[in-house]
Amino acid sequence: MPGISSGIRGDANLLNLREIPVANIRPELTMFLIPGENITQAFQTIRDQVVFTNKRLIVANVQGITGKKVSYTSYPYSKIQYFSVETAGLLDIDSELLLAFSNGAHLQLDFTSNVDIKRICANISHMVL
């Protein structure tokens, strides 16, 4: 899964998550929202999307050649045990966010260098702490 992994990195900048307007999210993602849940940020690779809300993050993983098969995963902030971030550098042009959950699962998100990773961390901190 480019840009989104459980330890596997997408090295090509095109495969890393870039911020998109909330209006550009996959329409079906809104059906997962509950009353009072609002989208705060959205990101996309070539086909996959990650949506941060005020309650959780939702990952849409588009699969197959046609892209008709989509896997949706919800990660509630309440289940985050810890997270770490690595900002973009001179030679490493992407930034990474690693989230660890209470069930032992890990989620690594790779972002393009122009994404404000510190803002993402501040939002997660606000929701978790």
In this prediction, residues 82-110 reach a mean pLDDT of 87
Chain-wide mean pLDDT for the chain? 86
Q: Model's pTM, two decimal places?
A: 0.84
| Look-up of token digits 């919800």 | 74
At residue 11, the pLDDT reads 44
Domains, the chain, in order of start with CATH, read 4-128 (2.30.29.50)
At residue 3, the pLDDT reads 53
CA–CA dist 5, 41 (Å, integer): 19
At residue 1, the pLDDT reads 46
At residue 14, the pLDDT reads 58
pLDDT tens readout for residues 46-84: 889 999 999 999 999 988 787 789 999 999 999 999 999
